[in-house]
Structure 1
Amino acid sequence: MSIRTKLLFSYIAMIVVPVLLLGITVTLAANVFKQDMTSQTGQADHHSRHVPFAEIRDLFSGRSEIASGLRFVAQHDPKLLSDPAFLASTESELAKVDAGMIILVDKAEAPAYASPGFSAEEVIAQLRGDNADDNGHRRYDHPGPPRGNSLDQIDYTLPGGKSASIIIVSDMEPVASFFKRFIPTVLLALLLALVLTNGVLTFFVSRSIIKPLHALRDAAGQIREGRLDHAIHLQRKDEIGQLGSAFEEMRIRLKGSINAQLQLEQSRKELLANISHDLKTPITAIQGCVDCLRGGVADTEEKRNKYIAMIGGKTTDMNRMIEELLLYSTLDIGKLPFRFETLDIAEYLSLTVEELKLDPRLSGAEIRFRNNAAATGAGGDPLLVRADREKLHRAIFNVVNNSIKHMDKTPRVLTIEIASHASHAATAAIVISDNGAGIPAEALPHVFDQFYRAESSRRPDAGSSGLGLAIVKQIIEEHGGTVEADSREGEGTAITLHLPAVQRVKLSSEESEEPL
């Protein structure tokens, strides 16, 4: 469940739960307090089974019906108000609703009729305002607090012409007592329901948010201190769980980046050590040759030529290693410019093979060239690529140079072919294969890694920096292509260079070229 949904449910619960608790409290309080009210008013027990406030409703409706009946009698048959039987019947009805009546004739001081239990003097004084002081407050002469009465006056005229009044006196004390206790109880219950609901929901919702945030804070502290082995597993599917997953992914990537950086630094150190060793060997040989020439050891022209040739060869090896270091560093920082042009790859490779046949390092080796893409080409159109002639030449020669070092069989066979692959229809695949010793299976995934060099290939006279195939990979990737290696130990190695092909499109009398 998302945090937004949790907050939405908590807001709904903060409204619904207090309302439900308030409803329950109102029901319970009304039933409890109405029992006290009914016991005070003397109503029958069957009223206690009514819903809350039913007694109050019945009380006021009963009084209203009796008052309406007396008003009708006073207007149409006032003689009944002198009939003892009618007065007794009316009195019994008034007693059921905790009320009474007083009849005053011609403003007499003494009432013509008064219900038992009601103080006629007090009612008359309250009606006439005789018990009001100078400040308008009521004043009573009888001991104890006054009763809370409600007065309803009905004026009428007797047959003899005298004026009379019926005063219906309703005792409001039970109702007032009910509301005095009921309203504070309901307000207190509402306050407690709000506090309890909001407190509980705030605790659980905030706990579900704060606890994982503390875990993320601790994880951030671990990362800040450089301890990247502390995994983050929140086991949540909400926004915080997504944040934790992002944190964990960041930790893994940061750990991998640091490990890669450490590996790179270690490789650089190994490179410096290897280059120092490989440079020291030819320098030592050159220094020895120079000492022999200076010391007169080379006392014949033949010996001097031999030492000079040795110095030249060692200098060439050193120069090649330094060039590879410079080329790799320039490629690595992206500062080497490429000049692309459209090449007929078959023609280009044919010229390259002719050049390789003149290389003294490949003397005695069989160099083969095959154009397998020509047989499947449409209409005999040449296979074109966009390439930097010089950089591609360097990549091919680096692969060939790597093959020369491992060609240990007789006869030595080097094959360069343009392959056709159904899965690479939009590429030109250049495959350079040999019948050398091959590459061990554990070393094959790393042959294009920067600074990688298998120890078995290191020889004091190899003049290798371990960057040859790494440079090949960078050059081909700058062309938008890919490289791959396939080798079987003891049988040979095949390096494949995939370059994006260019389609020749005819437009009227002009020709334009577009990448496939």
Structure 2
Amino acid sequence: MDKLRNLSIRKSVILYIFISLFVSLLLWIAAYGAAAFGVQVQSAKEISDGSVYYDGNLPAKPDLYIRSGQGRFLLELCDFILVYGFLVFSVPGIVIAVLLFYRNKIQKPLQELKAASRQIEENNLDFHINYENHDELGQLCAEFEKMRTELESNNRKMWRMVEAEKMLRAAIAHDIRTPLATLRGYQEMMLEFLPGSALSQEKTEEMLQEGMEQIDRINRFVETMRILSGLETREAVWEPTSLKQLETRIRMSAGVLGEEYGRNVTFLPVYADKDFQADAGFVLEVAENLISNALRFANENVSVRFILDGDSLALEVADDGKGYPQGFSLPEDIHQAGGGHQKTGLQHLGIGLYISRICCEKHGGKLTVENRSEGGGMARATFQVK
């Protein structure tokens, strides 16, 4: 039954017409047989009651036996059915076949597609196209459902981008108040006490140094805002590269970060290396964020390992620190990434993981974090490669 239901449109049309013509042929034969039998019965009746004289010789034409009006009608009906009967039965049969074909193969998918078009026109993508046949219209419905899914996904991404942008601006406005307020306070103090030499040179230098640190915080805020603003709209640019090339570039930045934090960064050996296509910018961005986070919370050592398996590239960064807090989860948006930590602001752990998660998803992969059994935390970033 499923095989018949999933027949192509062309084969279904041929099948419906063939069945209708076959049924029409059977009806034609049955009707002609019935009319011929009626003629025979009427002829025998007229011979038996003497209406027709029969001398034992077969006349050249059967209608010589028929004299009554009823018999003549039956004979003419028999001739009509013989000549036009198949046409009379086949035309309605084909019409019925076309109607059944439309009802069984065309009507439901057309209704589904029309309803889907109206929903999309009303900007409503929260629906599904339910048509299980695998004929041409079934394939069209499946493609339409795929298009709806893509539109829904793009709308969700666009909505997340808009919301992330709003949250980013709110987070920046919130976190930038502290350094601005500090700078304003120092400026007011210097304007009030510096002309009268009420401030010592040491105190003045201390305030100026603290002011420079607050300016650096503002610069970091602005740089983070710049990165996040362009991250959602950026697409992966596939370029030829290899594990060795990526590792060489990451080693340079990891070495600088390791010296800054006073900890060791170890790269585990790569056992399989081959050329592939990937967006090195995304991979390096993720690697730098994960290594920076690991160095921040490590006791002494951080290990980095690349794993290339088919069309998937994995980057694992582990540290020997206390691991991730209980119940920790990756931030889903900039608000969670900022975490409301006024002291550390956008330099908090969540920002690096948020940026890394977006980069992984843009590259067809994902980011996961876990605590190791031997202690410390590990972040695993995967990327789709070609």
TM-score bucket of the superposed structures, by smaller chain: 0.7 to 0.9
Secondary structure at 1:97 match in 2: coil
> Do structure 1's residue 203 and structure 2's residue 99 form an aligned pair?
yes
Cα distance in 2 between the residues matched to 1:343 and 1:212: 52
Other-structure match for 2:352: 468
Aligned counterpart in structure 2 of residue 291 of structure 1, from 178, 188, 205? 188
Report how far residue 493 of structure 1 moved: 2.7
Report how far residue 319 of structure 1 moved: 1.0
> Do structure 1's residue 486 and structure 2's residue 374 form an aligned pair?
no
RMSD: 4.9
Other-structure match for 1:268: 165
Larger CA deviation: 456-465 vs 31-40: 456-465
User: Contact 1:285/1:311 (CA < 8 Å) preserved in 2?
Assistant: yes
Larger CA deviation: 252-261 vs 272-281: 252-261
Aligned counterpart in structure 1 of residue 214 of structure 2, from 290, 314, 327? 314
Other-structure match for 1:135: none
User: Contact 1:343/1:386 (CA < 8 Å) preserved in 2?
Assistant: no
Mapping for residues 96-107 of structure 1, pairs under 5 Å: 96-97=56-57
User: Contact 2:290/2:317 (CA < 8 Å) preserved in 1?
Assistant: no
Report how far residue 32 of structure 1 moved: 0.7
Unaligned segments of structure 2, at least 5 residues: none
* Structure 1 pair 419–181 and aligned structure 2 pair: CA distance change class (3 A): closer
Other-structure match for 2:125: 228
Aligned counterpart in structure 1 of residue 264 of structure 2, from 368, 377, 402? 368
* Structure 1 pair 314–383 and aligned structure 2 pair: CA distance change class (3 A): farther
Amino acid aligned to 2:10: R
Aligned counterpart in structure 2 of residue 333 of structure 1, from 234, 246, 253? 234
* Structure 1 pair 486–183 and aligned structure 2 pair: CA distance change class (3 A): same
Other-structure match for 1:416: 302
Aligned counterpart in structure 2 of residue 239 of structure 1, from 127, 136, 150? 136
User: Contact 1:338/1:388 (CA < 8 Å) preserved in 2?
Assistant: yes
* Structure 1 pair 318–239 and aligned structure 2 pair: CA distance change class (3 A): same
Mapping for residues 103-502 of structure 1, pairs under 5 Å: 173-174=64-65, 177=72, 179-186=75-82, 189-208=85-104, 209-296=106-193, 299-330=199-230, 332-333=233-234, 345=247, 349=251, 355-356=256-257, 358-359=259-260, 362=261, 367-373=263-269, 397-403=288-294, 407=297, 413-419=299-305, 431-436=317-322, 438-441=324-327, 443-444=329-330, 446=331, 451=334, 453-454=336-337, 456=339, 458-464=341-347, 467-472=351-356, 484-488=367-371, 492-496=376-380
- Tell me which structure has the larger Cα radius of gyration: 1
Report how far residue 317 of structure 1 moved: 1.2
Report how far residue 344 of structure 1 moved: 9.2
User: Contact 1:345/1:385 (CA < 8 Å) preserved in 2?
Assistant: no
Amino acid aligned to 2:217: D
Cα distance in 1 between the residues matched to 2:284 and 2:122: 49
Cα distance in 1 between the residues matched to 2:238 and 2:286: 15
Report how far residue 200 of structure 1 moved: 2.7
Secondary structure at 1:312 match in 2: helix
Higher RCO (C-alpha under 8 Å, 6+ residues apart): 2
* Structure 1 pair 43–455 and aligned structure 2 pair: CA distance change class (3 A): same
Secondary structure at 2:343 match in 1: coil
**Aligned pairs, number:** 365
Amino acid aligned to 2:210: M
Cα distance in 2 between the residues matched to 1:30 and 1:427: 83
Other-structure match for 1:17: 23
Secondary structure at 2:334 match in 1: coil
Report how far residue 270 of structure 1 moved: 1.0
Structure in which a larger fraction of residues adopt helix: 2
> Do structure 1's residue 95 and structure 2's residue 101 form an aligned pair?
no
Other-structure match for 1:29: 35
Cα distance in 1 between the residues matched to 2:91 and 2:125: 44
| Cα deviation 1:329-376 (Å, max 9, x = unaligned) | 456436999998965947973x656534553xx3xxx51243542xx8
Secondary structure at 2:179 match in 1: helix
Q: Name the % identity.
A: 18
Amino acid aligned to 2:78: F
Structure in which a larger fraction of residues adopt strand: 1
Cα distance in 1 between the residues matched to 2:97 and 2:380: 65
Cα distance in 1 between the residues matched to 2:81 and 2:283: 93
Report how far residue 389 of structure 1 moved: 10
Cα distance in 2 between the residues matched to 1:262 and 1:327: 19
User: Contact 2:364/2:383 (CA < 8 Å) preserved in 1?
Assistant: yes
User: Contact 2:46/2:66 (CA < 8 Å) preserved in 1?
Assistant: no
User: Contact 2:24/2:86 (CA < 8 Å) preserved in 1?
Assistant: yes
Secondary structure at 1:413 match in 2: coil
Cα distance in 2 between the residues matched to 1:468 and 1:219: 41
Cα distance in 2 between the residues matched to 1:489 and 1:180: 98
Report how far residue 40 of structure 1 moved: 4.2
* Structure 1 pair 335–324 and aligned structure 2 pair: CA distance change class (3 A): farther
Amino acid aligned to 1:31: F
| Cα deviation 1:409-448 (Å, max 9, x = unaligned) | xxx6142334476969x9795635251461554513x4xx
